Amino acid sequence: MSTAVLPPSPSVPAAARVATGDAPRASVAQTGVWIGIATISMSFAALTSALVVRQSSAPDWQHFQLPPLLYLNTLALLVSSATLEISRRRRTVAALNATLVLGLLFVFGQVLAWRQLAAQHLFLASGPRSAFLYVFTALHALHVLGGLGGLLYVQRRLAGAVLAPTTFKAAALYWHFMAILWVYLLTLLTIRG
């Protein structure tokens, strides 16, 4: 049995070739973000499990109040998610710049919250709860910094008017995930503390 080769299709306009040529790259970018989200989720799920097991079997679990600054940081991250969505839908650099500033404020606020805890002598040596707090918040802050790097790439491409919508969508997906993950972590640290 032989297979027939179909004749080439009529001439495809260049614009259509460019649009379809971007499709594989778009799916790769989004697939990469989804794989990253799955990996990050599994990491934080393992840490959550470790926290629950350690707390339930630890007489040395020290309860303390989380710095109120963490709640302001949460607001900054949630607002940054909204400004990013505005930027993505309207393709505006100004809203993207606001997202970047709010993301940096979030990370800076996390550092200030760690310093507040250290001033209360709640540093790593003070017990397992503070150790989990630092691990969760530091690991999340590192992922946020990675997201800021991605948003800087998007900003550069958007300013040059060479940004594919799928690239922006992939970056926004990651950033929104960071906001959702932070709300989860803050809720966990508040409830389990």
Asked if residue 172 lies in contact with residue 88, where contact means CB atoms within 8 angstroms, the answer is yes
Sort 139 into a burial class: Cβ within 10 Å, 0-12 / 13-18 / 19+: middle
Q: Cα–Cα distance between 168 and 155 in angstroms, integer? A: 9
Structure tokens at 131: 């150790």
Q: Which of 132, 134, 130 is nearest to 62 (CA)?
A: 130
8-state DSSP, 62: P
Provide the pLDDT for residue 121.
Answer: 65
Q: Which of 91, 115, 87 is nearest to 99 (CA)?
A: 87
Structure tokens at 192: 């389990």
Q: Cα–Cα distance between 65 and 189 in angstroms, integer? A: 10
| DSSP E strands, the chain | none
Long-range contacts of 24-29 (CB under 8 A, 24+ apart): 25/164, 25/166, 26/164, 26/166, 26/167, 26/170, 29/166, 29/167, 29/170
Structure tokens at 13: 């306009």
Q: What is the pLDDT along the chain (193 residues), one digit of tens a residue?
A: 444 444 444 443 443 333 444 455 557 878 889 999 999 999 999 998 988 888 777 676 677 778 889 999 999 999 999 999 999 999 889 999 999 999 999 999 999 998 888 777 655 556 777 778 888 999 999 999 999 999 999 898 888 888 788 888 999 999 999 999 999 999 998 887 6
Q: Which of 86, 110, 73, 98 is nearest to 172 (CA)?
A: 86
Structure tokens at 145: 């910094």
Provide the pLDDT for residue 19.
Answer: 41
Q: What is the enclosing helix (H) or strand (E) of 14?
A: helix 14-56
Asked if residue 188 lies in contact with residue 112, where contact means CB atoms within 8 angstroms, the answer is no
Structural domains in the chain, CATH included, are 27-52+70-191 (1.20.120.80)
Provide the pLDDT for residue 139.
Answer: 94
Provide the pLDDT for residue 145.
Answer: 95
Amino acid at 97: N
